Amino acid sequence: MFKRILIANRGEIAVRVIRACRELGIETVAVYSAADANALHRKLATRSVCIGPAKAADSYLNQTAILAAAVESGCEAIHPGYGFLSENDEFADLCAQCGLKFIGPSGEVIRKMGNKAAARALMQQAGVPVVPGSDGVLESPEQALALSEQIGYPVMIKASAGGGGRGMRRVFSPEELPAAYTAAKAEAEACFGNGELYLEKLILSPRHIEFQILADRQGHVVHLGERDCSIQRRNQKLMEESPSRALTAELRERMGQDAVRAAACCGYEGAGTIEFVLDGQGNYYFIEMNTRIQVEHPVTEMVTGRDLVREQLRIAAGLPLSFTQQEVCLMGHAIEVRVNAEDPARDFAPAPGRTEFVHFPGGCGVRVDSALYNGYETSPYYDSMVAKLIVHAPTRLAAIRRMRRVLEEFILEGYPTGAPLAHLILYHPDYLRGEYDTGFLERNLDQLLGWLREGSRPAEQEAKE
């Protein structure tokens, strides 16, 4: 096992990685920007190195500064977390060139799967169903029009380098296409420095179902079941749960096998996620692979009892997976709520500020992943997520009840968050029945915001266990 690693990230995920390292006896080197001098990850690491000014481009994305910090402090490996450099193939290559183990797949594998248009082609070859759409990247709006005519509207124009729900546009008619094409391209160039686009049929009212996979260097690939991430705002996840109400045991088996095949066919190593959309008829389609640990990984850890970051570290150190597919069993139900510093009543405007007081819930079956503490000033420079609240209970209804209690117990003073909105979602009849798709929030937002304003909520409905 490694003696010392560098964590190229900040916030709750940096803290999450530090925790796994401590339990394995690994020393940690934190990196931080000038804006993060008081950040928790810095305080919890064995030591820390400043890597530049506040702007992410000059600090958490500053590859030279991070590599220099790792080499100078005698680290053997770098954990990239999520976001930032986690899916950067060039950075993975550079780590290898500096004699550092990048904790994740090789640069070559990231190149294969990170380009979403290219990954589609690879999946088709492997026999994994993909959404009908373009073969590779689009060359012009005219080509997009011709293709859309062929596959039928509505369609979705998406950025090949996309992530975080950005660079995608829905198109319902040929008249809308040219403007959507231009907008998606501009957003992709601005967000990812890469304007390449591809096209997919828009699956109507789908669920977002993703499978967690782990692959070691000995060639073992396993899946750890699914997460239902259909509660989304603007294609960004807000709440996740496992298992999904939409899957039968038979469908889980088939999708899990496809997820394993998807990872195996690209020579994958480490933790990864195969994302699918599932339509109302039980048809599922691959949409992308995330070649890193995900924000919502704790729900999988709760239902499987496995520590995914520990497995990442073991795999990177060359050890085999510590369990087999047969040993993976899903127990009970887990739900995660992402708490973002934003104001739902003001169109979810980011709301950074000083944390005047924070109290985290606790008790049976509760987990909080956060880098907040009393007096901590959140930064406008980075992601607005300040905490993840996770619960685990024997049944879905018990997990919902527990999450309501957790959100009632959670106190955060200093700035608004989406927590009260999440609390209301847990009372919505469709959510209670488990009958929701990726359009749930958009469809119900006005009603939910109305309840929020009035401080009311729908009469309690008894959901079935």
Which of ligand ADP, Mg ion, none does 113 bind, CB closer than 5 to 8 A by kind? none
Measured from the CB of residue 320, what is the shortest distance to Mg ion in angstroms? 29
Nearer to Mg ion, 158 or 396 (CB): 158
DSSP letters along 406-448, please? Answer: HHHH-EEESS--SHHHHHHHTT-HHHHHT---TTHHHHHHHHH
Of 42, 120, 207, 292, which residue is the catalytic one? 292
Q: Are 223 and 212 in contact (CB under 8 A)?
A: yes
**Per CB under 6 A, 301 contacts ligand ADP:** no
Measured from the CB of residue 288, what is the shortest distance to Mg ion in angstroms? 5
Q: Kindly state the helix (H) or strand (E) to which residue 221 belongs, with its residue range.
A: strand 221-233
Site string for Mg ion, 103-132 (x = CB under 5 A): ------------------------------
Which of Mg ion, ligand ADP, none does 165 bind, CB closer than 5 to 8 A by kind? ligand ADP
Stretch of 19-27, 179-187, 202-210, 216-224 lying at the interface with ligand ADP (CB under 6 A):
202-210
Nearer to ligand ADP, 196 or 383 (CB): 383
d(Cα 464, Cα 371) in Å, to the nearest integer? 36
Q: What backbone phi and psi angles, to 5 degrees, belong to 320?
A: -75, 160
Stretch of 15-23, 41-49, 269-277, 388-396 lying at the interface with Mg ion (CB under 5 A):
269-277
Which of ligand ADP, Mg ion, none does 208 bind, CB closer than 5 to 8 A by kind? ligand ADP
Q: What share of the chain is helix, strand, coil (3-state, %, to 5)?
A: 35, 25, 35
Residues 6+ apart with CB under 8 A from 243: 225, 226, 228, 252, 303, 330, 333
**Per CB under 6 A, 277 contacts ligand ADP:** yes
Stretch of 230-238, 339-347, 373-381, 427-435 lying at the interface with ligand ADP (CB under 6 A):
230-238
Stretch of 18-26, 91-99, 231-239, 362-370 lying at the interface with ligand ADP (CB under 6 A):
231-239
In sign, the C-alpha dihedral spanning 187, 167, 185, 272 is positive
Among the listed residues 212, 291, 294, 340, the single contact to ligand ADP using CB under 6 A: 294
Please report, as residue ranges, which positions from 138 to 197 form the binding site for ligand ADP (by CB under 6 A).
Answer: 156, 162-165, 192
Phi-psi region of 259 (alpha: psi -120 to 50; beta: other; left: phi over 0): alpha
Q: Spell 440-452 as b/e; 16+ CB within 10 A means b.
A: bbeebeeebeebb
Nearer to ligand ADP, 63 or 235 (CB): 235
**217 part of the active site:** no
Nearer to ligand ADP, 27 or 434 (CB): 434
d(Cα 161, Cα 114) in Å, to the nearest integer? 7
Please report, as residue ranges, which positions from 389 to 428 form the binding site for ligand ADP (by CB under 6 A).
Answer: none
Taking CB atoms, the residue at the shortest distance from ligand ADP is: 163
Residue 125 tokens read as 């070859």
d(Cα 260, Cα 276) in Å, to the nearest integer? 13
Residues touching Mg ion, count (CB under 5 A): 1
Which of ligand ADP, Mg ion, none does 370 bind, CB closer than 5 to 8 A by kind? none
Please count the other Cβ atoms lying within 10 Å of the Cβ belonging to residue 308: 21
Measured in residues, the chain has a length of: 465
Residues touching ligand ADP, count (CB under 6 A): 28
Please report, as residue ranges, which positions from 90 to 149 form the binding site for ligand ADP (by CB under 6 A).
Answer: 131
Q: What is the DSSP letter of 404?
A: H
- Alpha helices by DSSP H, listed for 25-169, are 40-44, 63-72, 89-97, 107-114, 116-126, 141-151
Nearer to Mg ion, 298 or 361 (CB): 298
d(Cα 96, Cα 107) in Å, to the nearest integer? 9
Q: Are 333 and 242 in contact (CB under 8 A)?
A: yes
Residue ranges in contact with Mg ion by CB under 5 A: 275
As annotated, the active-site residues are 292
Residue ranges in contact with ligand ADP by CB under 6 A: 82-83, 131, 156, 162-165, 192, 200, 202-203, 206, 208, 232, 235-237, 275, 277, 287-288, 290, 294-296, 383, 438
